[in-house]
Structure 1
Amino acid sequence: MLMAIECSGICGGVALLEEERLVGCVNFTSSTLHSQRLLPSLEWLLARTGRRIQDVRAVGVSKGPGSFTGLRVGMSMAKGIALAQGIPIVGICSLEALALRAAAYTRLKLVCPILDARQGYVYAALYRIGNLLEDGFPQMEVVHEPAALHIEELLPWIQEPTLFTGDGLAAHSDVLATTLGDHFHRANAVGLVPSAEQVAVLAARRLRRGETDNIHTLEPFYLRHGYMEKSAKHS
């Protein structure tokens, strides 16, 4: 059984996947720290599904980009379980997981997840949606690798109708809609928020390819733009 943890933003969650079938998933929106919600959510999910922590054979975890604190909480818990159980760990890009969730609700061929990085900046990537795979979700091809950039720098990426998703839309949907016109499409409410289920699906894909991460070197994936680096130094 695969366990997946998502803590890249205000929404967190845990999912259990067994032979490509979702056993259970619990997602939460936390006004408090993820550290106060994550472990109780896992314990509840295990009890609800009649599983034990000893049944977990691999761990998938959202590695970022995203919330500095949330990512560290999720990574610490994932590493702790993997180390204690002596099982593989797999890090998953939070933008790809968010894109995969939104892709299930569209017929468009491109999806662009954007996370708010403040002061007009976003964490973003662009994916082309492919055919459905055996796990019930589409193949995702990277068109533009994850990057930290100003919203204006993102606009040249979009050359055809594209589905946008992520919390960055709260601050930037107006400029995207005005500038991109018919090429801008907004994900529905379900597709806008990350879920541990998609982290589990992507982790299972990596495991089937024989890919795992080194538990000692796997760290949260923080993206920084040059302007953001300068701002941090002067703050």
Structure 2
Amino acid sequence: MTRILAVDTSTEACSAALYNDGGLFCEREVAPQGHTRLLLPMIDRLLKSQGLGLGDLDCIAAGRGPGSFTGVRIGVSMAQGLAFGAGKPLVGISDLEVLAFTAFNRTASGKAVAAIDARMGEVYIGVYERDSRGFPSLLGEEQVLSPEKALDYVRELINNEAPAIIGTGFGTYPVLGAALNGIRTDESLPWADSLVRLALRDWELSRARPPEEVLPVYIRDQVTWKKISEQEQERQSRKMKI
């Protein structure tokens, strides 16, 4: 019997999902400014609907970004707090991977390109291949690029294959999807019901970690999210060089 709670607030989508021994239950809402207000009541309703408490869970999962700076912080910090309080491990899942998984579930494509609008004339982008179980396998690295550079990057990885395309980046820059001859899905946001299924995979593969080891991922500014110990080591290293 496996029970996993997942939350995601990395974009304008706010959602929570509960996997309970084969059953999947989700609450979701598009609310760009409402994540803090909505998330805890969503979690509370989901747990109560199944007669569960946090202590009954095996682990907690969170969308770790990339996405909105504030949104990613809310989701990860909320999940960390719940995991710490309940003494449970945490799983962090890329929101680009969540999108790719959704695309694979809605198309027969062997590859998927997920793009989230990163503002400032750029997109967060990831290219994925469908593995033998139908899960996304990252090709290359997650990137933050201009649409023009993103197009060049993706073309190097898809080998002229028509990929499934998904995410707000394609809505903001429709020329990107058209140039890729991509198969558009009917979804553009990462939701916790897809995230919790990826978290179940990671739980089964023993990838859950102590809450303090799961950090937000901001591709544009990775330095912000280095561990305190790593930041201190860098400061000491700079002093020694001086």
Paired with 1:116 and 1:31, the residues of 2 have a C-alpha distance of 14
Return 5+ residue gaps in structure 2 as ranges: 222-242
What's the counterpart of residue 6 of structure 2? 4
Paired with 1:14 and 1:89, the residues of 2 have a C-alpha distance of 15
What's the counterpart of residue 85 of structure 2? 84
Give the 5 Å matches for 1:110-121.
110-121=111-122
- Runs of 4+ in structure 1 over 4 Å off: none
| TM-superposition CA deviations, 1:185-222 (whole Å, max 9, x none) | 2112xx32211012111112112111122322322100
Give the 5 Å matches for 1:51-66.
51-66=52-67
| TM-superposition CA deviations, 1:157-202 (whole Å, max 9, x none) | 233201110111221113431x33xx322112xx322110121111
Asked if the contact 1:22–1:197 (Cα under 8 Å) also holds between the matched residues in 2, the reply is: no
Paired with 1:206 and 1:53, the residues of 2 have a C-alpha distance of 19
Asked if the contact 1:24–1:49 (Cα under 8 Å) also holds between the matched residues in 2, the reply is: no
Paired with 1:87 and 1:125, the residues of 2 have a C-alpha distance of 29
What's the counterpart of residue 99 of structure 1? 100
Letter in 2 for 1:192: S
Letter in 2 for 1:11: A
Q: Do structure 1's residue 196 and structure 2's residue 192 form an aligned pair?
A: yes
Shift of 1:31: 4.2
Q: Do structure 1's residue 155 and structure 2's residue 151 form an aligned pair?
A: yes
What's the counterpart of residue 172 of structure 2? 171
TM-score by length of 2: 0.83
The total of aligned residue pairs comes to 215
Paired with 1:120 and 1:139, the residues of 2 have a C-alpha distance of 30
Q: Say if 1:172 and 1:58 are closer, same or farther in 2 by CA, change over 3 A.
A: same
Return 5+ residue gaps in structure 1 as ranges: 226-235
Report the RMSD for the aligned CA atoms in angstroms. 1.8
Q: Say if 1:7 and 1:31 are closer, same or farther in 2 by CA, change over 3 A.
A: closer
| TM-superposition CA deviations, 1:5-30 (whole Å, max 9, x none) | 111100011111133x2331111111
